[in-house]
């Protein structure tokens, strides 16, 4: 995958559900995820998402799953949702073979554009497992800051994975657009 080829962005439909689930699982779990740097296999077993959850995100008001395609092939996706004055960014997945190519930066920038220009949000929020220091640092280089606000990991809900340790939690990261707090 060339970092020079710009992806084509589009909004997912329910016809894309199976492809999205496969991409997300490949980026976060199992053997293919180990090829990329976004794997959570050392923290979680089990699934990362399923068709029911993806379909619900596609159908929810003020929510969309953004797809990035190259040559008609799904190479990245994310969920972006309007939550009051802030956009929420999550379920970010880049095909492990394309990680490190700059594609992730392009997808994040497009999600921010949607929140800022289409929804008139004042900033973007996300949650990241605190043990994912390299990922938190990546977002930090893109203007996101740690808030010190934490949310519990949903232990006991296998829809989010089967924890391999008992100290998981999420930290909220935030980026304000044009210096205006969300």
CATH number of 134's domain: 3.40.630.30
Residue 122 sits in which domain range?
8-176
Residue 12, domain member (yes or no): yes
Report d(CA 56, CA 114) in Å as an integer. Answer: 20
CB 53 within 8 A of CB 110: no
Cα-to-chain-centroid distance, residue 37? 14
pLDDT surpassing 60 at residue 2: no
38-56 core/surface letters (b: 16 or more CB in 10 A; e: else) = bbbeebbeebbbeeebbbe
Residue 117, domain member (yes or no): yes
pLDDT value for 79: 97
Residue 45, domain member (yes or no): yes
Q: What is the pTM of this model?
A: 0.87
Give per-residue pLDDT as tens, 111-145: 999 999 999 999 999 999 998 888 899 999 999 99
Q: φ, ψ for residue 57 (rounded to 5)?
A: -65, -40
For the chain, what is the domain count?
1
pLDDT value for 30: 56
Residue 100, domain member (yes or no): yes
Residue 181, domain member (yes or no): no
Residue 164, domain member (yes or no): yes
Report d(CA 167, CA 131) in Å as an integer. Answer: 9
Report d(CA 143, CA 114) in Å as an integer. Answer: 17
Residue 182, domain member (yes or no): no
Q: How many angstroms separate the Cα of 158 from the Cα of each of 69, 153, 172?
A: 30, 11, 22
């Amino acid at each position: 995958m060339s970092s020079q080829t710009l992806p084509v962005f589009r909004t997912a439909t329910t016809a894309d559900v199976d492809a999205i689930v496969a991409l997300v699982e490949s980026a976060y779990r199992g053997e293919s995820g180990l090829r990329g740097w976004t794997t959570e296999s050392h923290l979680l077993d089990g699934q990362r998402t399923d068709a029911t959850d993806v379909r619900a995100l596609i159908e929810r008001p003020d929510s969309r799953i953004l797809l990035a395609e190259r040559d008609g092939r799904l190479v990245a996706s994310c969920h972006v949702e309007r939550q009051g004055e802030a956009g929420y960014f999550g379920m970010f997945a880049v095909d492990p073979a394309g990680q490190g190519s700059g594609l992730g930066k392009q997808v994040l920038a497009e999600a921010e554009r949607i929140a800022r220009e289409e929804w008139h949000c004042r900033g973007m929020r996300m949650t990241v497992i605190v043990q994912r220091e390299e990922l938190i640092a990546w977002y930090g280089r893109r203007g996101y800051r740690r808030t010190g606000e934490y949310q519990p990991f949903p232990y006991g809900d296998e829809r989010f994975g089967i924890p391999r340790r008992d100290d998981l939690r999420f930290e909220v990261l935030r980026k304000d657009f044009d210096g205006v707090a969300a």
